[in-house]
Chains A and B, each alone.
Chain A
Amino acid sequence: MSEGRYLRPQRLDEAVDALKGGGWNLVAGGTDHYPARVVEQRPEDILDLTGLTDLRGIGEFPDHFRIGALTRWTDLIEAPLPGWFDGLKQAAREVGGVQIQNRGTIAGNLCNASPAADGVPALLSLDASVELASAGGVRILPLADFILGNRKTARRPHELMTAILTPKPARPARARFLKLGARRYLVISIVMVAGLLEVEEGRVAGARLAVGSCSAGAQRLPALEAALTGQPADAGLAMLATPEHLAGLSPIDDIRADAGYRRDAALILVRRCLADLGGLR
């Protein structure tokens, strides 16, 4: 039986250098990687990212925040961050139980690209980009261009995600995240909704909404975002959301819910999210 290689680089340059050779499976928290392998532990080459401690933590810059790729959900929950991160923090508190939050990384959630990944809609509503590094250099991609579909991303095999970048909103902003599962805990989401409103003089100056688990990758709702802009920022925003605004979603039937249920639930969650966001003072 082949041993399988194992490497735990301590520095980014060592990691990208190793990736040039190819064939590696990257592991950060392991909370997506290992459950997928429980039946059969086949030999594989593991590039363990947990030694890259420089990539763990959240930094503030003049116009954006930088979430290092090794930042765990618990790190995010504990970090003092502005209120428009509340949606992402709400998502973080519901990723599995605390044992999962203490190990699982935000970047791992994005790179795994499950349609039910809670981080994706929350970060889409923050207009996030991702930073990818390879021996050839660094490139930055909008998150929406990084997630290509169900477990498909634009990451090239020799690339590593190094950070998630979230721009600071131009105006005062508030954010929310809502998730529906068959049970309250430890379940894969049926629908999740993330929303961010920028508010100026009592009116919506900008809106970003994203729905997850209702298409191969989470989707923004541009038509609804346009309809909200300029409206009074109160709980009445909820009733502006119509089924047509969700026409771009393509929910599937699966063991958790059928497509019709998902569509209905998505509209209800979008409305609750807007009522909540509009009602905040």
Chain B
Amino acid sequence: MNTDLMVNGQAQRLDADPRTTLLDALRNYLHLMGTKKGCDHGQCGACTVLVNGRRINSCLTLACMHDGDEIVTIEGIGGPDDLSALQQAFIAHDGFQCGYCTPGQICSATAMLDEIAAGWASHATKNVASLPGLTVEEISERMSGNLCRCSAYPNIIDAILEVAAGKEQS
């Protein structure tokens, strides 16, 4: 079955069994290996990608459900020569140990910073009427869909805080 996807700004035609998940399509058909399969269950967030600007778990959705959608993976966020601010901050703060969860963490955090810029409250937001102050608690809440087996959480949060602070100033 044919599905047209826009992946990292490039039009891609996928010809796959309709039961192929978006995650398997990205890795096995489009050979974008940055997106990881941790649990294949929606539990860990390693497979997080952006679909039409929103973060989702690519393991819980079929590729053919996304005909016409815009998909951004970690490869589209930045490569070795053009790292995004978050990618640089993850390196500067040692926001990983084994690195398996990292692409998902960075895709998720990229979307999260957009959500905050758009002013969306989370469950941890005390005062829903004002813009959320980015506390450690607030980031943990918003990043709760991304697990890190190596437990690099403190450094992940430091990296995100640094980029968020930079955004606030600019």
The stretch that binds A, out of B15-23, B27-35, B82-90, B155-163, is B15-23
Grouping DSSP codes into helix (H, G, I), strand (E, B) and loop, the B interface class, with mixed when no group exceeds half, is loop
Partner of B43, one of A4, A50, A186: A186
A78 to chain B, nearest CB (A): 6
Partner of B42, one of A3, A6, A100: A100
Q: How many chain A residues touch the partner (CB < 8 A)? A: 32
A33 to B40 CA separation, bound complex (whole angstroms): 12
Asked if B19 and A35 sit within 8 Å, CB to CB, the answer is: no
A97-B144 contact in complex given A6-B18, A6-B64, A77-B120, C-beta closer than 8 Å: yes
Asked if B60 and A103 sit within 8 Å, CB to CB, the answer is: yes
By beta carbon, the residue of chain B nearest A1 is B17
A185 interfacial by beta-carbon distance below 8 Å: yes
CB 8 Å contact bits of A94-105 with B (1 = contact, 0 = none) = 101111101100
B65 interfacial by beta-carbon distance below 8 Å: yes
B73 to chain A, nearest CB (A): 14
A34-B21 contact in complex given A50-B65, A99-B108, C-beta closer than 8 Å: yes
A98-B145 contact in complex given A34-B21, A77-B120, C-beta closer than 8 Å: yes
Asked if B42 and A4 sit within 8 Å, CB to CB, the answer is: no
A31 interfacial by beta-carbon distance below 8 Å: yes
A5 to B65 CA separation, bound complex (whole angstroms): 14
Give residues 70-92 of A contacting B (CB, 8 Å). 74, 77-78, 90
Asked if B145 and A38 sit within 8 Å, CB to CB, the answer is: no
List B contacts of A29 (CB < 8 A): 60-61
A217 to chain B, nearest CB (A): 23
The stretch that binds A, out of B6-14, B50-58, B92-100, is B50-58
A80 to chain B, nearest CB (A): 12
A34 to B43 CA separation, bound complex (whole angstroms): 12
List B contacts of A94 (CB < 8 A): 123
B41 interfacial by beta-carbon distance below 8 Å: yes
CB 8 Å contact bits of B98-140 with A (1 = contact, 0 = none) = 0000000000100110010000111100000000000000000
Partner of A99, one of B40, B55, B122: B55
A38 to B19 CA separation, bound complex (whole angstroms): 12
Of listed A31, A90, A102, residue having the most chain B CB within 10 A: A102
Partner of B115, one of A90, A98, A103: A98
Asked if A34 and B54 sit within 8 Å, CB to CB, the answer is: no
Asked if B61 and A78 sit within 8 Å, CB to CB, the answer is: no
By beta carbon, the residue of chain A nearest B59 is A34
Of listed A3, A4, A43, A93, residue having the most chain B CB within 10 A: A93
Asked if A35 and B42 sit within 8 Å, CB to CB, the answer is: yes
A41 to B20 CA separation, bound complex (whole angstroms): 10
A46 interfacial by beta-carbon distance below 8 Å: yes
A97-B120 contact in complex given A8-B65, A30-B61, A103-B56, C-beta closer than 8 Å: no
A225 interfacial by beta-carbon distance below 8 Å: no
List A contacts of B48 (CB < 8 A): 99
Q: List 28 A-B contacts (CB under 8 A).
A: A3-B17, A4-B18, A6-B18, A27-B62, A29-B60, A34-B21, A34-B42, A34-B59, A34-B61, A35-B43, A38-B40, A43-B19, A46-B62, A48-B62, A48-B64, A94-B123, A97-B143, A97-B145, A98-B108, A98-B144, A99-B45, A99-B57, A99-B145, A100-B42, A102-B56, A185-B141, A185-B145, A186-B43
- Give the B-binding residues of A (Cβ under 8 A): 3-4, 6, 8, 27, 29-31, 34-35, 38, 41, 43, 46, 48, 50, 74, 77-78, 90, 93-94, 96-100, 102-103, 184-186
